[in-house]
Structure 1
């Protein structure tokens, strides 16, 4: 297939909901721009996720083990809200399973579980096949820009780390401009300081939520105009995201119920060092 859009953005995410939490505004912004294509690659169905609504709790892996199938519908709803029409499951639906995570003993940090499912995404022996599957998508789409997580996966989740590793390897074979998701420390601190006192979640301890020094940020995308689309996408992921809204005030939390602010900027770090600060992922990109 020959790509038709002049600008092509591809995102690699580990589980349904990750696309909305870290890049939802970016996806919505570029999906709405002319002659721009957005492709989302999701690596697992998120089968091991913890379920927030009590009425859906029995979907989880320890009971009916139907959460992955349910989250396909949630992801479809989020993509619709964000205006994204090109979504791929890496290797096909259900090829690799959510690895789950263990708590790392500090804040929201995660680690690899001692025992992995035979189809777990983080298994060492699956790496080459995963890279090949992603290369196949890259060769078809030919994106100029690729987004995924940094080397630590943002907070240590083994599937986020693996998504980073296979994306770096795949981009070496099919070159593109590569960026990693991040949150600048000052922006996160300002957002947390501005949380409405009425929001119901636990305010995080200092440095509990992951962030990076401000001077590491390479691209800052203004996503204020995509706010309502992002909120709608969060609501679509009801098993994973608890959302509180009162007028213009918004806070959200995962199953740990730690409060996070909805920031109007999404930020990225370039894989290539010494990249100048920009407000557009496609700055300097030619078709």
Structure 2
């Protein structure tokens, strides 16, 4: 293709782009790919997770603070970014507790997806990244992010759907983030213990639900050379990321040695590709859309994926 390849990452809140797929995005930016992060909510109901930032003036201005943090992270990663205008749903302590009125997770699907469909048609990504249908973890905004991402992937190329959202454009591949796998944390755990560091992951691994991984990893993107950029982007979200906390307990050099990739599940593809992959754009250079391959067994038929 003569024009640059384009990658869209769809996330629920500011900071999600830095904790999921950040090194992948930084790698592709360095290779000349246009990368756009679409952030569906402003993170208004996020808690201050870094005790060093737990101050009244922060809590009183959470919306502005999180936008400022997002801007710093965006600059570090070298990506473009836009907020799509929905309000954070929060994470209820009790699943029976109703979600706040008007928040993102309670929107009807066509309402929640419309801004993303418009963004897809404007930016025209070849590849989209999002969460799996469990949201990566069961935050209502993450689950809704999966739903609207799948909807946008399948609807953006159909001129009869969302007719007011711009000229149709069909992305070619849709991936789910698979970075938080048991296999990855077991490998880091063993490596830290072998080197006498002690591992913080033992209790977490012991409580991991013993069942097959729902979405197998199909694609491992080598990007360890950009882990430092990922970490700086994470630290830009100072209200959400404690520099002395979970994200940094395993030395970066050990991560680069033991698990130098960020991992994905190919959920939709309109191009031929051989699995496993090591590049999100495998099969896309010079390609034209073909019959859609749906690797998500629960997917419903649609004009994009008949």
Q: Please say whether Structure 1 and Structure 2 have the same fold, judged by a TM-score greater than 0.5.
A: yes
Distance 2:112 2:38 in 1: 12
Is 1:116 the equivalent of 2:95? no
Q: State the Cα distance separating 1:147 from its structure 2 match.
A: 0.2
* Native 8 Å contact 1:222 1:265 kept in 2: yes
Q: TM-score, normalization: structure 1?
A: 0.79
Q: State the Cα distance separating 1:202 from its structure 2 match.
A: 7.4
* Native 8 Å contact 1:98 1:121 kept in 2: yes
Is 1:72 the equivalent of 2:67? yes
Distance 1:238 1:195 in 2: 26
Structure showing greater radius of gyration is 2
Distance 1:77 1:133 in 2: 24
Q: Which residue of 2 aligns with 1:230?
A: 230
Match of residue 16, structure 1, among 11, 14, 17: 14
Instruction: Point out the structure with the larger strand share.
Output: 1
* Native 8 Å contact 1:220 1:265 kept in 2: yes
Q: What's the RMSD between the two structures over aligned residues?
A: 3.1
Q: Which residue of 2 aligns with 1:156?
A: 138
Q: State the Cα distance separating 1:5 from its structure 2 match.
A: 3.9
* Native 8 Å contact 1:243 1:251 kept in 2: no
Is 1:282 the equivalent of 2:285? no
Gap regions ≥5 residues in structure 2: 157-169, 287-306
Q: Which residue of 2 aligns with 1:108?
A: none
Q: State the Cα distance separating 1:264 from its structure 2 match.
A: 3.0
Q: State the Cα distance separating 1:275 from its structure 2 match.
A: 5.9
With over 3 angstroms needed to count, the CA separation of the structure-2 counterparts of 1:242 and 1:203, relative to structure 1, is farther
Q: Secondary structure at the match of 2:10?
A: strand
Is 1:144 the equivalent of 2:126? yes
Q: Which residue of 2 aligns with 1:39?
A: 36
Gap regions ≥5 residues in structure 1: 105-111, 253-260
Give CA deviations for 1:21-79 in whole Å, capped at 9, x if unaligned.
Answer: 01110110111112x1001000111112121234434357xx62x21210111111111
Distance 1:237 1:41 in 2: 17
Q: State the Cα distance separating 1:209 from its structure 2 match.
A: 6.3
Match of residue 135, structure 1, among 88, 100, 117: 117
With over 3 angstroms needed to count, the CA separation of the structure-2 counterparts of 1:283 and 1:59, relative to structure 1, is farther
Q: State the Cα distance separating 1:134 from its structure 2 match.
A: 0.5
* Native 8 Å contact 2:185 2:205 kept in 1: no
Distance 1:207 1:6 in 2: 45
Q: TM-score, normalization: structure 2?
A: 0.74
Q: Which residue of 2 aligns with 1:48?
A: 45
Aligned residues, how many? 257
